[in-house]
Amino acid sequence: MNQLEQLRQLTTVVADSGDIDAIRRLQPTDATTNPSLILQAGMQAQYRPLLNAALQQHRDDISAACEQVTVNFGVDILRYIPGRVSTEIDAHLSFDTSASVDSALRIIERYQAAGIAPQRVLIKLAATWQGIQAAAQLEKQGIHCNLTLLFSLTQAKACADAGVTLISPFVGRILDWYKQHQPEQDFSGANDPGVQSVQRIYQYYKQHGINTVIMGASFRNVEQIRRLAGCDLLTIAPNLLQELAATDAPLVAALQMPLQHATAAAKPLSAAEFFWQLNEDAMASDKLAEGIRKFAVDQRKLAQLLSSLNCE
């Protein structure tokens, strides 16, 4: 078996892409999208009908058309995977709990109008305090959530407290930060701080018997993926999936369940504790803020693209 096939025996493989053709070829179990991936795909001619369909429904409301585009991509992706698709809310709502909940409910309604059951959708929200509280409300309504832009154990603990379905701890963006701030250090292999972060979260969750699922994300190379083989899920870009499929070298589980769970449940974090701990973590604070800004930029670019098409 090639390494992609071996990885599938250890971990649920998820495609991190808005490229529907690539998803059809690679046949992952699940798929994740975000504003940047939707923008990249939306600029390709073969996906223009998905944008035009959204405009036909919401020609006088570009914001609603943007939301519909993300759903249109999700509906098409679900034709080629057996599992779930993650659809992200507008990054501009990352600090507004009520508006995040409202957006999530609209997205689920749009999927239902297309014949897709809520069980096949994960709502993606940034792992801000407000996003996590929105997820807590949505989970109580049976709407499952994927908390993204997660860079720290503090964020992971708060997500567990909220009872969210899934978290996406980032790997590559953590490595990027450390390479920028400590260029003299060797961060290869086992020294990769992004890999180490997911390892810590995995051990904490499993030791405390936390049901929230861990999906490693944001990979820069296949070595990072190999060192997290055995994680609940890994969401991987198509080029890295193809690289794994091109080698037959043996692959073993790098993450394994601890022999025993901790007997005492962890104390829930208060809002003040969350904000202080996140403030103390310069990397996590920087990358969370940067990630939200970048997604917001691409959200605006998608709106501009739809506006230009609307004028044609």
The residues annotated as belonging to the active site are 124
Contact 126, 92 (CB under 8 A): no
Give the residue carrying structure tokens 């990769």.
192
Distance CA(256)–CA(197), nearest Å, equals 15
Residue type, 246: A
Task: Give buried/exposed letters for 176-199 (b at 16+ CB in 10 A, else e).
Answer: bbbeeeeeeeebeeeebbbbbbbb
* Parallel/antiparallel/unpaired status of strands 121-126 and 233-236: unpaired
Contact 4, 241 (CB under 8 A): yes
The two three-digit tokens of residue 161, written as one number = 């407290």
Which helix (H) or strand (E) segment holds residue 157: the answer is helix 153-162
